[in-house]
Structure 1
């Protein structure tokens, strides 16, 4: 370990095993510590049935100066780790925690669509746009020429379509899947090269349906080999994202290109649906960052959010207050 490594704040991330929670933690952590220690958990901590592997790390490894957590299962583990450290680390949670943990964190960042007047009163709470992630505008610009030349060598614009999967708010019924397939074919017929990628949550039947499109201007990732996700983003002149994924839509906004939300079949009215719909309304109607997909991919301009970097700066400033160091 170099002298610079010893003076730089050390970050632990604590998240659920779900990729979306880990990527949020790492999206922020990388601006503070390029080599954070990653802890993933499957269940809440129970003293009578502990999971000790990451607790042993407290004695084997450098203890954290900052813990960044995400996901409901991570809350109890974060507090346990923080309580066992020789010097209590700064604790940061991404998303609204359960009520019993709200005052136990030093900093909490909550997406605007989950923001409430009660949270406004809490000095440790701060709103954020969408969710943090690991995609940067500068990286997208640097990748773009090579990605576009490799994935879309023919003339014409490139549309990237990112497809998620059913959740508690939306489902992929036959009419929705048929509309998605028709959209992809329609864009190709208009001269777009269409890059299509599914996610871990995409049902196998949906992947098979998309794989059967097989047209010259439609490129479907077959989920074999290295994930081309970042190149699919970078190559795009416009993007279509299914509404079930908050993270993919936020990542798409890092490109600075038009981002259109593709509507899905709604499950019967429930809190999850209301939450997603509030999110999409905020991103499109209030902030002007996205558009609802209604058949065309007209260009428009916006300033890509830099939430991961902004949150990291706030964490460093708070840590500097505590330690007396000067924030970078």
Structure 2
């Protein structure tokens, strides 16, 4: 993993479907799980091991020229850069400036106004979409956010996960809890309500698999751990993360409203996904989150608000990571055949050297 200023870089080539060649992919994002998984969810469908550039803050103006941390990287250049998050914009610009051959650049959010010319494509969630953004011909609307969960992964894990937590055919609900952000609060009353909900679900015959995030209040995890029983399983955040197994075992989900990413990951399984309401922090950020949840529930009919019961319903799971990766590949093949040709020559040279 590269952080700005590091001099050690490793690359793994991967197949670009449309050209039959191999491309080098970099991801550029903060270390936040939500932004990082968006980049990796798309990038790994093009390069199974993309090189990760993790940034902490916007690149200062004085580090964008001869003092750029990317200027003297004596390594093969990326051919595709997939980025996410506001602080990534300036880093992508600096990386592009350092490349002899301009890489194809994709941002998984609205680019900051001063960086719109840096990106070849942008994918913007419906809750951030507008008519003004639609005027950018290479900006595209997306449902929620991309991520690394795919129904094929879940299907592969489901049998073993069910054997572990539902060997008697029990119905399983996976509870995914996050933490406070600029839109929602985890006050004491909200935590009390969530704890009581978990207890009630278990009393109603559900096996509950509960997982918290790095943003979760420590006392929320402590209170969940105190509920552990034959019917309530809680990850204590020690050892391997059972997140994917929790997803695979579920017959339904209860996801707290603060996480768009966890909502989208749950939806990838095709299982009923209910959203748990939280105390609200009024402001523009709350308005966007609430719009997202209304859109997912009322317009797209993907999620449902939790009102005390979990019932089955059908929907077509969105697969945004695959759709976005396919659009990127198509655009690279159409607009940047030079990248594919270069990759082909490099791959042929590698094969000849191996003979």
The C-alpha deviation readout for 1:295-319, integer Å capped at 9, x for no partner, is 1110000111110011011111111
Unaligned runs of 5+ in 1: none
Cα distance change of structure 1 residues 114 and 4 upon mapping to structure 2, 3 Å threshold = closer
What do residues 21-49 of structure 1 show as CA deviations (whole Å, max 9, x unaligned)?
11101100111111211101001112435
Distance 1:31 1:3, change over 3 A: closer
1:2 Cα shift?
8.2
State how far apart, in whole Å, the 1-side matches of 2:15 and 2:299 are. 43
1:143 paired with 2:162, answer no
Structure 1 residues 134 and 276: CA distance shift in structure 2, 3 A: same
Residue 8 of structure 2: aligned partner = none
Count how many residue pairs are aligned between Structure 1 and Structure 2. 323
Mapped pair 1:121 → 2:135: yes
What is aligned with 1:44? 58
Q: Secondary structure at the match of 2:149?
A: coil
1:88 corresponds to which residue? 102
Flag the 1:19–1:52 CA change in 2: closer, same or farther, 3 A: farther
Match of 1:34 among 40, 48, 54: 48
Q: Distance in 1 between matches of 2:70 and 2:173?
A: 43
Residues 144-197 of structure 1, C-alpha deviation per residue, up to 9 Å, x if partnerless? 110011123344200000000011111111211111111111111111100000
Could you tell me the TM-score, scaled by structure 2's length? 0.87
- 1:203 counterpart residue number: 217
Secondary structure at 1:127's aligned position in 2? strand
Deviations 1:207-228 (A, max 9, x none): 1111111332001111111000
Gaps of 5+ in 2: 1-11, 342-355
C-alpha distance in 2 between matches for 1:224 and 1:55: 40
Distance 2:14 2:298 in 1: 49
CA distance in 2, matches of 1:297, 1:134: 26
Q: Which runs of 4+ in 1 moved over 4 A?
A: 1-6, 49-56
**Equivalent in the alignment of 2:116:** 102
Q: How does 1:1-328 map to 2 (within 5 A)?
A: 7-49=21-63, 54-57=70-73, 59-60=74-75, 62-267=76-281, 269-324=282-337
RMSD: 1.9
Tell me the secondary structure at the aligned position of residue 223 of structure 1: coil
Assess, with a 3 A threshold, how the Cα gap between structure 1 residues 4 and 107 changes in structure 2: closer, same or farther: closer
Shift in alpha-carbon separation, 1:212–1:127, aligned structure 2, 3 A: same
Q: Is the Cα–Cα contact under 8 Å of residues 39 and 54 in structure 1 kept in the other structure?
A: no
Determine the C-alpha separation between the residues in 1 that align with 2:81 and 2:319.
Answer: 21
CA contact (8 A) 2:123 2:142 kept: yes
